[in-house]
Amino acid sequence: MTDFKRDGSHLSSYPPVEKWDDWVEYDAEAWPRRVKKHYQLVPTICFNCESACGLLAYVDKDTGQVTKFEGNPKHPSSRGRLCAKGPATITQIHDPDRILYPMKRSGPRGGGKWTRTSWDEVLETFGARIRKAFQENRGEEVMYHVGRPGHDFIMERTLQAWGIDGHNSHTNVCSSSARLGYLLWHYADRPSPDHANARFILLLSAHLESGHYFNPHAQRIIEGKMAGAKLAVMDPRLSNTASMADHWMPSYPGTEAAVLLAMSMVILGENRFDATFVKNWTNWEELEVGGFSAKGQSFEALIEALKRHYAKFTPEFAEKESGVKAEVIVKTAREIASAGSRFASHLWRGSASGNLGGWQSARALMLLHVLTGSVGTPGGHNLNSWNKFVPRPFKNPPPQKRWNELLYPLEWPLCIHEMSPLLPHFLKEGRGRIEAYFTRVFNPVWTYPDGFSWIEMLRDEEKVGLHAALTPTWSETAWFADYVLPMGFSSERHDLMSQESYAGKWIGFRQPVLRVLQEREGKKIDYTYQANPGEVWEEDEFWINLSWAIDPDGSMGIRQWFESPYRPGEKLKVDEYYGWIFENSVPGLPEAAAKEGLKPLEYMRKYGAYEITTDVYRLNEEPVAPADLSGSKVEASGVVTKESKAVGVMVDGQAVVGYKTPSRKLELFSKTMVDWKWPEFALPEYYRSHIHRSAQAASMGKTAEDFDPRYMPLVEWPKDAKGDVYTLLPIFRLPHLIHTRSGNSKFLYEIAHKNPLWLNPVDSQKIGEVRTGDLVKVHTEIGFFVLHAWITEGLAPGVVACSHHMGRWRLNKDDQLERMSSAWVDLQEVGKGQWKMRQTSGVEPYETSDPDTKRVWWSDAGVHQNLTFPVHPDPITGMHCWHQMVRVERAGADDRYGDIFVDTNLSFAVYQRWKALTRPAPGPGGLRRPLWIPRVHRPQEAAFYMKKG
């Protein structure tokens, strides 16, 4: 097993830290001559996904330029290793098409005309508009909308300093669904599996090759396998991950919870569960189901009640629903039981984010962990909150008093994150407007479903007064901005990052490499854009300066939060912000730095990361702190309270901290679901997804007894719709692409640049002897797209698939989007809300300062399928349910590759049908949402209550 060693010796070859100031390599371009080159190596953090792996930037001492990125051996999570996207950072920072200066539109919005402007002008313009909005009590009209955050806490702090409920995120097109499934069990909304020490690993995704924390996880999954762990993968597609598995379970999409509950039934039925753990650590005594109440009953009676409740989940039933063979389900369940507390799993997007009710996959998966006692154990499932570390800065503003219903509307009281995919529809319904809108590394026109509704919203200056796109690359959304503000990549900005990527707690420091080096040489740098290419800035300094521009004299009470903790009344410097955190908020760091004669900030600039602890198991068993215990009382439920707040729970006669749920235990039974009008989901359950066969049959007017309109919206096809109905899986990732940001990486786009439709041979025959490379037309509820077919047995008949990350497009032939990754398109609004896009040309070689752009050999940019998807907000989690019911036919004579048509009037109608499935607030006591459920950028408690009258 490859444990991380602080000295880097877990790697066979690496540059030792004592040589980082003068690292010598031979110049590859001088070969066969042996010419030495001298580099300074500066650590930073990759910005190309959320894993936050450690990079080492190699800066050529002669030119002062970054020439390559390798892994940082001192980083405890990535341990010197990277995926393809880490080293590809070099192509992003040297992309000749990148945005180097702040730009302001000079014609109508969306017209594609830009002029260079200054950062001062940007700050003055936005400062004045926002100040006026605040003075007129229109704070909710200021909105920050984030795609890839890449930082922890600083933005929440900024918005709370502004006193507004203005934080919007992409999470409801990403991971909200799984989050609710986990949260209902143990408050923490993410898993942190200890793959390296597991005996059995179950992945509900292609996690080994892509997905959440996949480089840190992949290396530990392989370590687990090398130590003897078995790997099972449940995924409708034969992904590269599935091909590495001991068991591949190709479940029909949306039926995963049925398989998982059947596995639980095997373990319960064979009495192979950890009774002590279940008895001590679940809230089983609160359970009420099917006329059974556990109150006053024995634990054995509870187990029998559970067996009765889940009786229908036989392996045969699960096979009928999912297509996974009953014997595979039984075998896998037995192996999980044998692994016991060393059973690890992962689910983040995949089945959870594809399906209506997908959150139940996470909840059912957790039931397996609870039954095996593999929660908080070596080799088991840990809580993200035990492994992730978010330090607090020097002074924190109070929570905002307001509640913004554009973000958390009443219809979705249990949504874990903001209902951001619905923003265009909310504005269309007249629920509000936006005065100042910041999209930040965020490209909803392209990454979200229903992109034409976003275009309609963004081009409307009544709905969106002023829009700044803060972005390191051009994007389809930036096209519709008033200002395009260039922000840095991995080596051009400061950020703090920590992720729950293994059984340990760590913190990483992203830093602007050229600034760090220039300061080491004694050069005075006031702002990072002075050292970065062009005037590329970083957000930390942008927000500090914008806050001063909003409140220049401090009279609004905003400026105080952006004043130095060391120089009262003066503007906060970024070194002071992080220096204070490292000195005061990271346990053990000051001592580790002192041992080397360094200040904590110097230590982090030198190493780029710090491991805080690996003592992270079973933190629920920690005793309640003496200060909390003093004056506390034990409630009848066993919960220990102090001043009406829960501080722990009694287990085996001991007061321990437990979990942050209402019962302080793992909630097998969720009273929250009962209180919030979903009593049928008080326990982990399986219910059918919107793309289930019964929903397909109902959409075609056939009688489908198991179609349940309480949960499933009816798809309405046009009367003349052609083609058979299929389920489209549109969300699998290619390992080397990064949504929008890989668009300017020549290395990454050379590897992959097409997204054909995966089609089983059975279906290709049905559709009309379609062969690989033939054009097919895929109809969604609101339009169609045309692309090539790829015939494969890597997924079951009835299911088709198309990867995302592809189909970038630009409206100008020669600029405003990376030409190596985008097609030049003609976009027309042919009727009100009716949009037609046709590719004028694909990718072609082009002349720039980089000779490689003349060598571009591929012409395909893929097809933008997301434009043709309506929003599908899950009625409980609010998550956009990505899978689509589609009709597929051979393309016609008039159809061309990349053609897209969409009617946004239909997309608005689909939105209304899904909204009708919700069960809105108020909940108990007039609440908008449960108080115990976390909310990003949480307002004061009073704001959780709806106003009377």
What is the closest distance, in whole angstroms, from the C-beta atom of residue 742 to ligand SF4 in the complex?
Answer: 9
Lookup: tokens for 787: 């692309």
The distance between the two most distant Cα atoms of the chain, rounded to a whole number of Å, is 84
Q: Which stretch binds ligand SF4 (CB under 6 A): 76-84, 522-530, 608-616, 823-831?
A: 76-84
Given the complex with ligand SF4, which of 69 and 785 has the nearer CB atom?
69
DSSP structure class, residue 529? G
Torsion, Cα 22 28 30 36, to 10 degrees, reads 20
Q: Which stretch binds ligand SF4 (CB under 6 A): 23-31, 78-86, 505-513, 651-659?
A: 78-86
Q: Which stretch binds ligand SF4 (CB under 6 A): 79-87, 269-277, 283-291, 928-936?
A: 79-87
CB-based burial label for 21 (10 Å; 0-12, 13-18, 19+)? middle
Residue 558 CA to residue 873 CA, distance in Å, equals: 36
Residue 279 CA to residue 370 CA, distance in Å, equals: 10
Closest CA to 853 of 310, 283, 136, 91: 91
Give phi and psi for 352, each to the nearest 5.
Answer: -70, -45
Q: In what order do the strands lie in the sheet with 23-26?
A: 23-26, 36-45, 54-60, 66-71
- DSSP assignment string, 255-305: -HHHHHHHHHHHHHHTT-S-HHHHHHHB-GGG-EETTEE-TT--HHHHHHH
Given the complex with ligand SF4, which of 369 and 746 has the nearer CB atom?
746
What is the closest distance, in whole angstroms, from the C-beta atom of residue 284 to ligand SF4 in the complex?
Answer: 39
How many angstroms separate the Cα of 119 from the Cα of each of 19, 481, 535, 889? 38, 16, 9, 51
Given the complex with ligand SF4, which of 215 and 443 has the nearer CB atom?
215
What is the closest distance, in whole angstroms, from the C-beta atom of residue 207 to ligand SF4 in the complex?
Answer: 12
Interaction between residue 86 and ligand SF4 (CB under 6 A): yes
Interaction between residue 906 and ligand SF4 (CB under 6 A): no
Given the complex with ligand SF4, which of 85 and 425 has the nearer CB atom?
85
Residue 236 CA to residue 564 CA, distance in Å, equals: 54
Given the complex with ligand SF4, which of 89 and 699 has the nearer CB atom?
89
- Tell me which of 42, 56, 59, 82 binds ligand SF4, using CB under 6 A: 82
Q: Which stretch binds ligand SF4 (CB under 6 A): 10-18, 82-90, 112-120, 520-528?
A: 82-90
What is the closest distance, in whole angstroms, from the C-beta atom of residue 412 to ligand SF4 in the complex?
Answer: 30
Residue 283 CA to residue 686 CA, distance in Å, equals: 21
Residues in 46-75 that interact with ligand SF4 by CB under 6 A: 46, 48-49, 51-53
Asked whether 499 and 190 are in contact (CB, 8 A), the reply is: no
What is the closest distance, in whole angstroms, from the C-beta atom of residue 601 to ligand SF4 in the complex?
Answer: 23
Structural Rg of the chain based on CA atoms: 27
Given the complex with ligand SF4, which of 92 and 283 has the nearer CB atom?
92
Interaction between residue 215 and ligand SF4 (CB under 6 A): yes
What is the closest distance, in whole angstroms, from the C-beta atom of residue 82 to ligand SF4 in the complex?
Answer: 4
Given the complex with ligand SF4, which of 481 and 507 has the nearer CB atom?
507
The count of C-alpha atoms lying within 13 angstroms of the C-alpha of 21, restricted to the half-sphere facing its C-beta, is 5
Interaction between residue 83 and ligand SF4 (CB under 6 A): yes
The crossing angle, in degrees rounded to 10, of helices 154-162 and 539-550 is: 10
Closest CA to 95 of 811, 817, 751: 817
Q: How many CB atoms lie within 10 A of CB 368?
A: 24
User: What are the beta bridge partners of residue 438?
Assistant: 144, 468
- Tell me which of 37, 74, 85, 425 binds ligand SF4, using CB under 6 A: 85
Residue 553 CA to residue 909 CA, distance in Å, equals: 49
Q: How many CB atoms lie within 10 A of CB 87?
A: 17
What is the closest distance, in whole angstroms, from the C-beta atom of residue 740 to ligand SF4 in the complex?
Answer: 14
Given the complex with ligand SF4, which of 447 and 545 has the nearer CB atom?
447
What is the closest distance, in whole angstroms, from the C-beta atom of residue 524 to ligand SF4 in the complex?
Answer: 32
H or E segment to which residue 767 belongs? helix 761-768
Residues in 516-575 that interact with ligand SF4 by CB under 6 A: none
Q: Which stretch binds ligand SF4 (CB under 6 A): 44-52, 62-70, 453-461, 752-760?
A: 44-52
What is the closest distance, in whole angstroms, from the C-beta atom of residue 55 to ligand SF4 in the complex?
Answer: 8
What is the closest distance, in whole angstroms, from the C-beta atom of residue 86 to ligand SF4 in the complex?
Answer: 3
What is the closest distance, in whole angstroms, from the C-beta atom of residue 213 to ligand SF4 in the complex?
Answer: 7
Given the complex with ligand SF4, which of 78 and 477 has the nearer CB atom?
78
Q: Which stretch binds ligand SF4 (CB under 6 A): 41-49, 188-196, 471-479, 600-608?
A: 41-49
What is the closest distance, in whole angstroms, from the C-beta atom of residue 47 to ligand SF4 in the complex?
Answer: 8
Q: Which stretch binds ligand SF4 (CB under 6 A): 77-85, 186-194, 417-425, 868-876?
A: 77-85
Give phi and psi for 594, each to the nearest 5.
Answer: -60, -35
Asked whether 46 and 85 are in contact (CB, 8 A), the reply is: yes
Query: What 3-state class would DSSP assign to 503?
Result: coil
Interaction between residue 498 and ligand SF4 (CB under 6 A): no
Interaction between residue 496 and ligand SF4 (CB under 6 A): no
What is the closest distance, in whole angstroms, from the C-beta atom of residue 91 to ligand SF4 in the complex?
Answer: 13
What is the closest distance, in whole angstroms, from the C-beta atom of residue 196 to ligand SF4 in the complex?
Answer: 17
Residues in 345-364 that interact with ligand SF4 by CB under 6 A: none
Given the complex with ligand SF4, which of 45 and 767 has the nearer CB atom?
45
What is the closest distance, in whole angstroms, from the C-beta atom of residue 43 to ligand SF4 in the complex?
Answer: 13
Size of the site for ligand SF4 (CB under 6 A): 13
Lookup: tokens for 300: 């054995």
Residues in 577-636 that interact with ligand SF4 by CB under 6 A: none
Given the complex with ligand SF4, which of 89 and 780 has the nearer CB atom?
89
Given the complex with ligand SF4, which of 51 and 205 has the nearer CB atom?
51
The count of C-alpha atoms lying within 13 angstroms of the C-alpha of 236, restricted to the half-sphere facing its C-beta, is 29
The crossing angle, in degrees rounded to 10, of helices 359-372 and 326-339 is: 50
Interaction between residue 330 and ligand SF4 (CB under 6 A): no
Q: What phi-psi label fits residue 722: left (phi over 0), alpha (psi between -120 and 50 degrees) or beta? A: beta
Contact residues for ligand SF4, defined by CB under 6 A: 46, 48-49, 51-53, 78, 82-83, 85-86, 214-215
